């Protein structure tokens, strides 16, 4: 492979990357920045049990909005929960 081939391939990859960025941005807009999930959405997407989610709410670990009997989880509250539970990846031996 010569330099011309490499340059051409890099340009192709750059073009494809640009197309992907455009598609990702379209998807973000379609999902919406203020997307709100209900219990079923959170349980399905995070693969947790109903009881686990109820425990997190009772312990004040995850914020929510309750309207009548409906419990909702705005994106900001879900993101805060995740940020508050970040672990550094080290095991108990410090490795």
Number of domains in the chain: 1
Residue 27, pLDDT score: 66
Whole-structure pTM value: 0.60
What does the mean pLDDT of the chain come to?
88
The rounded distance, in Å, linking the Cα atoms of 10 and 28 is 27
- Asked whether residue 25 is assigned to any structural domain, the reply reads no
Does position 5 have pLDDT exceeding 80, yes or no?
yes
In sequence order, which ranges of 1-95 are alpha helices (DSSP H)? 3-31, 39-46, 50-58, 75-84
Choice among 5-9, 28-32, 76-80 with the minimum mean pLDDT:
28-32
What is the span of the domain harbouring residue 76? Answer: 36-84
Determine the 3-state secondary structure of 37 from DSSP. strand
- Asked whether residue 6 is assigned to any structural domain, the reply reads no
Residue 72, pLDDT score: 96
């Amino acid at each position: 492979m010569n330099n011309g081939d490499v340059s051409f391939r890099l340009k192709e990859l750059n073009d494809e990357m640009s197309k992907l960025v455009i598609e990702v941005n379209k998807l973000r807009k379609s999902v919406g920045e203020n997307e709100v999930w209900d219990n079923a959405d959170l349980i399905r997407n995070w693969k947790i049990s109903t009881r686990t989610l109820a425990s997190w709410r009772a312990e004040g670990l995850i914020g929510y909005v309750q309207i009548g009997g409906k419990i909702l989880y705005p994106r900001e509250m879900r993101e805060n929960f995740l940020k508050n539970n970040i672990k550094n990846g080290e095991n108990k031996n410090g490795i």
